[in-house]
Structures are given as structure tokens and as C-alpha cells.
């Protein structure tokens, strides 16, 4: 069937799309690469005509024009399911809010009505194929958003990679109300952050426990990239991928023959993910790549699904860990940094995997705004700090000084284990605090 006539009838301008929004509406932007840049620009142009428009996005890779047009938040109330560095900066200015949840819950929150039903959804997609399908490029929860929206507008972007499925990675033209063509903005890219020397040391410890035939999940940043590089250097064999985020280093591991997915117990031969962030080179690698399987985030991040991968290794970063084992990965006190994401779900899934390991990594110290050094391992989390992984779920914690497994340990054993991998300059103070607060009982030597 030729869908070109239906496409032509549904084609509108970005300005016409923005005109669909009314005051008080709930508007959803597509997640991550599916951010609708052209419609966002047009909607920003309507700022003075609107009031109390609620917008939800997820991990934006460019500054939303609606926020730039309304920095006081009087016209647009902007919310994100997960912060990027850009949304974090707007949050610091008081004009961007976070929505707490586990990333894998996203589709269900829309389909059950727990999240406000979108009046309008603006979602970036690939050009249409011959069967009338558009691909989201970012699978995540985009299909659920469109399924529940009152009006669905797709923004066609030729630079969007086509991620093969999986399922829910596509939307048919029959499910779309309007189409906007975007030839102005490319999909967002994110440069790799180089690892620090401490991250290099930490990555070496973590990479050393990844066995041949493991299935791996990596987060974003210099540390996970360095872990990937070391796995290449060490010649680890037959690594599989089951992750939410497909990264630049995973592409390099593919090229080096480290990732084969041959030994995976779930979806052998294919790397499972729900979104990707990186360079143009990465997007070109992913485009129509049959070795990649894009699934919605409620599948990739389901702990029961994750646990079906034998020897599943989850490697994620943290900001702060207290002596009882509580992990914060999303805030510095009251300052919100990122989000819960899929960390807790992958910790639970990897731990339940036969032969699996759930590893939380953090440098032992940080430098504050006054260039003073502080310990990331603390007696108690700083006021306002969000707990991302409860102490009951934590197993492996790693710093550049070692790795310890907290599972099955008493509170005082946990404290002693964590003190042993804290920076040496802070160990005595942590020991004193632990005894003063009765974290370590009197009789323990």
C-alpha cells in the first residue's frame, strides 16, 4: 500500500503543530533523541499567548526553547523524567522540576493513568518506511506516550537512527494525527567525557571481575567508557549487552570483537537496549543494525527480565554512600543531579542473575566549590540527599581503593568494609563517627 497520500494530508508546519496546544494542557516531548526541536521552537514563539502549559521531557540534549522563552516559568511548567546536564542547570535556576520514578515504570505510568494523560504528544521520529512506519530512534516510553495522547504529532528528522526491534520501536502512520518535517535540527549528540586518573584506577578494579561470556550493563560517563576500553585491552571474550543505554564504548567493543552476544541466555546474538546517546558515528552504527534490538524501557529494565541473563554484570556510578550502605546517585544534598534512572532495577536484576554482579562505583573523594576535598563515603548522607539504592539492595561497592560486598553483613561489618575502601585521609574520622553513632558497637575491635 502507498501511504504517501495519507502522509501528505497529515503534513503540517511546526507553527500549526504548536497551535494545537491550549493553556493548561499537558504536553509531552519525546524522550532523549526524540526531542521535537522544531516544534519546541515554534511553541516557544507562542509563550505570550499561553498560560500554565505543563511540559514533560526526558534527558534533553539541547536547551528547550520554551525554557529560554519563559525563564520565570510563568507560561510553561517544564518537568523531566531524567535530568541531563542541561536540565540540571535549569533546575538550579528554579525553572525545571524532576519526576521521581524508576525508569522502567514509564510506560505503565502512562497506560494506567498514573501520569497525566498527554493532551498533545510531540515526538521525533525517522522518515517513514515503505510500510508506513516511523521509528522512534529512542524506544524508551515513546510508544506508550503516543498510545495515550489525545493528539499525536511526529516530527520527522532525517538524522534519526532507525533502531531495529524488539517491539514498540515504531509507530504507524495510521496512529499519527499530524506530521511535521524537520530539516533544521539534527538529533542531539553528547561528547564522551575522558576518565580522570582516579576513574582509570577504579575502572581497572571493576573490569577485572568481568568474566568471559558475561552480559553487561554500563552507565554513562568517563568511568563506564574506561571499563569498556579495559575489557577490549584485556581481551575479554563473548560479552553480551543488556542495557538501557547503548554507549560509544559498546560500539568500540563491537568493533574489537569483544561483544558478540553469542553466550547470552536471553536474546542471543543481539545487544538489547532502549536508547542511545553519543556521536554521529554511534548513530550511524546503530542505524538499521540487525545486531541491535531496541525494546521499550519497561522490558529492558524489568529486574525479572534482566535476571534471565546469566552472569549479568551491572556497573553504575554513585555520588555518595553512607556507612550502612545507602547509595545516592542522583543528588548532592538538595541539588538534583540526574535521576533514579534504571540503577535500582539493574542492581536488583543483576544480583538475581545466576552468577551476576551488581557493582556501584564511586571515586573515594570529591572537591567542593572552594576546592576542599571531601569523602564520598560518609557516616550519614548529607541533608536532602536522595537514596537511589536502599542498603537492603546493595551488594558490591567499589572505589579506587578496593571492592567490598555488603550482602549478608551486619551494619558494623558494612561500616568496616566501607571504611577500608574510603580514602586513607578520612578513615580515622569515619571510624570515630561510626563508633560515636553506634554504627559499630562497643565490643567490636
Q: Which residues are catalytic?
A: 244
CA–CA dist 215, 212 (Å, integer): 9
CA–CA dist 101, 81 (Å, integer): 8
Q: How many CB atoms lie within 10 A of CB 290?
A: 8
Q: How far is CA 47 from CA 8, 51, 54, in A?
A: 29, 8, 12
Grid cell at residue 425: 585521609
Question: How would DSSP label each residue in 412-426?
Answer: HHHHHHHHHTS-HHH
CA–CA dist 316, 443 (Å, integer): 35
DSSP reduced 3-state for 437: coil
DSSP reduced 3-state for 353: coil
> Whose CA is closest to 134, among 170, 169, 104?
170
CA–CA dist 126, 135 (Å, integer): 5
Whether the Cβ atoms of residue 96 and residue 80 lie closer than 8 Å to each other: yes
Whether the Cβ atoms of residue 49 and residue 157 lie closer than 8 Å to each other: no
Amino acid at each position: 500500500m502507498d501511504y504517501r497520500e495519507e502522509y501528505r494530508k497529515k503534513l503540517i508546519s511546526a507553527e500549526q503543530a504548536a497551535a494545537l496546544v491550549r493553556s493548561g494542557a499537558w504536553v509531552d516531548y519525546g524522550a532523549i533523541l526524540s526531542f521535537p526541536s522544531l516544534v519546541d521552537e515554534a511553541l516557544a514563539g507562542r509563550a505570550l499567548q499561553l498560560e500554565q502549559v505543563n511540559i514533560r521531557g526526558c534527558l534533553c540534549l539541547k536547551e528547550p526553547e520554551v525554557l529560554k522563552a519563559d525563564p520565570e516559568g510563568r507560561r510553561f511548567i517544564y518537568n523531566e523524567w531524567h535530568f541531563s546536564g542541561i536540565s540540571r542547570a535549569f533546575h538550579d535556576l528554579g525553572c525545571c522540576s524532576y519526576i521521581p520514578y524508576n525508569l522502567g515504570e514509564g510506560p505503565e505510568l502512562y497506560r494506567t493513568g498514573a501520569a497525566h494523560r498527554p493532551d498533545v504528544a510531540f515526538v521525533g521520529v525517522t522518515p517513514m518506511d515503505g510500510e508506513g512506519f516511523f521509528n522512534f530512534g529512542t524506544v524508551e516510553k515513546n510508544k506508550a506516550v503516543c498510545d495515550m495522547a489525545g493528539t499525536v504529532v511526529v516530527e520527522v528528522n532525517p538524522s534519526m537512527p532507525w533502531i531495529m526491534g524488539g517491539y514498540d520501536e515504531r509507530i504507524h502512520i495510521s496512529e499519527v494525527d499530524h506530521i511535521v518535517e524537520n530539516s533544521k535540527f539534527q538529533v542531539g549528540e553528547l561528547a564522551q567525557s575522558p576518565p580522570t586518573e582516579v576513574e582509570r584506577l577504579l575502572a581497572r578494579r571493576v573490569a577485572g571481575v568481568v568474566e568471559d561470556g558475561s552480559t553487561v550493563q554500563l552507565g554513562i560517563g568517563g568511568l563506564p567508557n574506561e571499563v569498556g576500553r579495559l575489557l577490549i585491552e584485556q581481551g575479554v571474550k563473548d560479552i553480551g549487552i543488556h542495557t538501557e543505554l547503548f554507549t560509544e564504548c559498546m560500539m568500540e567493543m563491537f568493533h574489537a570483537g569483544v561483544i558478540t552476544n553469542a553466550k547470552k541466555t536471553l536474546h542471543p546474538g543481539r545487544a538489547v537496549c532502549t536508547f542511545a546517546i553519543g556521536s554521529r558515528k554511534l548513530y550511524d552504527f546503530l542505524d538499521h543494525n540487525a545486531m541491535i534490538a531496541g525494546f521499550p524501557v519497561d522490558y529492558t529494565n524489568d529486574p525479572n527480565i534482566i535476571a534471565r541473563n546469566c552472569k549479568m554484570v551491572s556497573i553504575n556510578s554513585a555520588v555518595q554512600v553512607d556507612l550502612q550502605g545507602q547509595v545516592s546517585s542522583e543528588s548532592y544534598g538538595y541539588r538534583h543531579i540526574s535521576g533514579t534512572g534504571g540503577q535500582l532495577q539493574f542492581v536488583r536484576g543483576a544480583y538475581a542473575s545466576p552468577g551476576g554482579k551488581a557493582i556501584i562505583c564511586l571515586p573515594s573523594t570529591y572537591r567542593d566549590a572552594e576546592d576542599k576535598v571531601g569523602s564520598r563515603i560518609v557516616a550519614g548522607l548529607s541533608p536532602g540527599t536522595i537514596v537511589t539504592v536502599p542498603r537492603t539492595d546493595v551488594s558490591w561497592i567499589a572505589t579506587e581503593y578496593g571492592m567490598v560486598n555488603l550482602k549478608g553483613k551486619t551494619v558494623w561489618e558494612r561500616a568496616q568494609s566501607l571504611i577500608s575502601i574510603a580514602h586513607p585521609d578520612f578513615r580515622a574520622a569515619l571510624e570515630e563517627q561510626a563508633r560515636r553513632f553506634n554504627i559499630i558497637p562497643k565490643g567490636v575491635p
